[in-house]
Amino acid sequence: MLNRLWPVFAFLVIAMTQANEDAAPQYAVNKINDRVYVLTELWNGDNNGNAGVLITEKGVLLVGTLMTKSAPALEHQLKLITDKPVRYVINIDSDPYNHHANRYFAERGATIISHENMRYEKAYSELLVNEQLTMQFGNETVKIYHSSAHQLNHIDVFFETSNVLFMSDGYKAHWLTSHGPNGLKGLLDTFDKAIALADDKTVIVTGNTSKHPDFYLSNKKTLLKIRQKHIAYTHRIGELFNEGQTAKEIAKDEIINRLLSDFDLYPKAKQWLSEDIELVIETDFTKPFPLSLDTLQHYVGVYALADGTQIEVLMKNERIFARSENAFLFELLPLSKEIFDFKGTLGKNNLLFGVESNGMVTSLTTRLEEDGWWSSRIKAGTHKRIRH
């Protein structure tokens, strides 16, 4: 989903990047076979970041570009492996370290491939994919397919010939991954697609990864284990939430903490556990204000500020979304007839619709936390409806 789940994550990535500002990035190089490598950028924080490399006689294909600040170092690392130019970049989603250096490599001749929803993100893209794309690059069959985990713009990438699957933050082995607006169902659908593709020899590459070199890469056995953890974790949150507990209270639950205690990142990440639980409560257990599909259609249209900035509200598969090019794409969660929350995000950010007594919707007002992440990307103010 292109932008929704990661204000906290993005802050951490930027903080880690700033911490590395004066030091040249370092990489661990994992050679999968003669043409496939995984470069793990070693960050100062609690995670490292993976980028995939495919080398053929036609050039190099990158999965993820990491941050612009480190792009020259990444380029240098590639030149230690091959003299071939980067021809393609596959952008898995809108987490900054997956796309931040897209333009850097595009300016050097690469074609940037992203999911079509990336057009609503502040990221450079060229070739947009809807549900799937299969391309032959040298001797490697590359399968790109939309995944419903983590964000609305997420794709997974399978190097079929080499048996390597890139899942980025649709899956983490060292900590939980955020479900995204599709909830546990979307996450499990992504896991199950990966499980169907994988065998016992498949190398599975996450985006964020462990600080321990032995766990930079993952496999099907671990994926199956993490799948069960997500199910147990989500169901336990649901039980306690239905008993009336808050996210902070649930974060202290002995069963949940025991379930998560063998994750690599648990000693550090448990301090943020209540925030992750808040997201799970919203995506999986918060019931929307009851509005019929016919009523929701009244909100559909284009709304604009006086300067021409537009927000489009649309229905798709009986769900309601708001989007603006180069800015954001959200699923909306109705809290009342007037207030619609950004589903799957932390903070007090929402849209306030102007609804007249006859049900006519005439405007929307963006209500954003001052100095928050979304206030830097979304223009505040009342947008008048200009088109149904």
Tell me: do 49 and 189 sit in the same domain. yes
* 249, part of any domain: no
Question: What is the distance between the alpha carbons of residues 162 and 62, in angstroms, rounded to a whole number?
Answer: 15
pLDDT above 80: residue 369: yes
The kind and range of the H/E element at 197 are helix 183-197
Encode pLDDT of 173-223 as tens digits.
999 999 999 999 999 999 999 999 999 999 999 998 999 998 899 999 999
Q: Are residues 40 and 177 in the same domain?
A: yes
Contact 272, 249 (CB under 8 A): no
Residues 198 and 335 in one domain: no
Q: What integer is the mean pLDDT of 149-177? A: 96
Name the domain boundary from 188, 217, 233.
Answer: 233
**127/22 same-domain check:** yes
| Same domain for 189 and 316 | no
Of 233, 259, 285, the residue at which a domain comes to its end is 233
The predicted pLDDT at position 22 comes to 58
Same domain for 226 and 114? yes
Residues 139 and 25 in one domain: yes
Residue 259 inside a domain? The answer is no
Check pLDDT > 70 for residue 375: yes
- As a whole number of angstroms, the distance between CA 70 and CA 101 comes to 8
Task: Find the mean pLDDT for residues 227-240.
Answer: 98
d(CA 268, CA 163): 33
pLDDT above 70 as % of the chain: 94
Helix (H) or strand (E) holding 46: none
Q: Are residues 195 and 304 in the same domain?
A: no
pLDDT tens profile 118-138:
999 989 999 999 999 999 999
Closest residue by Cα to residue 43 from 81, 65, 13: 13
Q: Are residues 109 and 219 in the same domain?
A: yes
Domain-ending residue, one of 233, 248, 282: 233
Whether residue 20 is predicted with pLDDT greater than 80 in this model: the reply is no
Per-residue confidence (pLDDT) for residue 293, from 0 to 100: 97
Shared domain for 222 and 303, answered yes or no, is no
pTM: 0.91
pLDDT of residue 377: 86
Residue 127 is assigned to a structural domain of this protein: yes
Spatial separation of the C-alpha atoms in residues 221 and 66, rounded to whole Å? 27
CATH number, domain with residue 361: 2.40.128.50
In a domain, 282, yes or no: no
Which residue is it, tokens 């007090």? 348
Least confident of 69-78, 154-163, 259-268, 371-380: 371-380
Q: For a pLDDT cut of 90, what percent of the chain falls above it?
A: 85
Answer whether 184's CB lies under 8 Å from 230's CB: yes
DSSP letters along 342-361, please? ETT--SS-EEEEEE-TTS-E
Using alpha carbons, select from 6, 175, 177, 186 the residue that is nearest to residue 94: 6
Residue 286 in domain:
no
Question: Tell me: the pLDDT tens digits for 24-67?
Answer: 899 999 999 999 999 999 998 889 999 999 999 999 999 999 99
Instruction: Give the domain extent around 373.
Output: 293-387
Separation of alpha carbons 254 and 50, rounded Å: 33
Q: Could you read off the pLDDT of 251-299 as tens digits, one per residue?
A: 999 999 999 999 999 999 999 999 999 999 999 999 999 999 999 999 9
Burial class of residue 196 (count of CB atoms within 10 Å of its CB; 0-12, 13-18, 19+): exposed
In the three-class reduction of DSSP (H, G, I as helix; E, B as strand; rest coil), residue 27 is classed as: strand
pLDDT of residue 28: 96
Residue 285 within any structural domain of the chain: no
How many domains in the chain? 2
Determine, yes or no, domain membership for 89.
yes
- What is the Rg, in whole angstroms, of the alpha carbon atoms belonging to the chain? 21
3-state SS assignment for residue 2: coil
| CATH number of 83's domain | 3.60.15.10
Position 66 in a domain: yes
* Per-residue pLDDT at 94 exceeds 60: yes
User: Do 57 and 179 belong together in one domain?
Assistant: yes
- Tell me, yes or no, whether 224 and 340 share the same domain: no
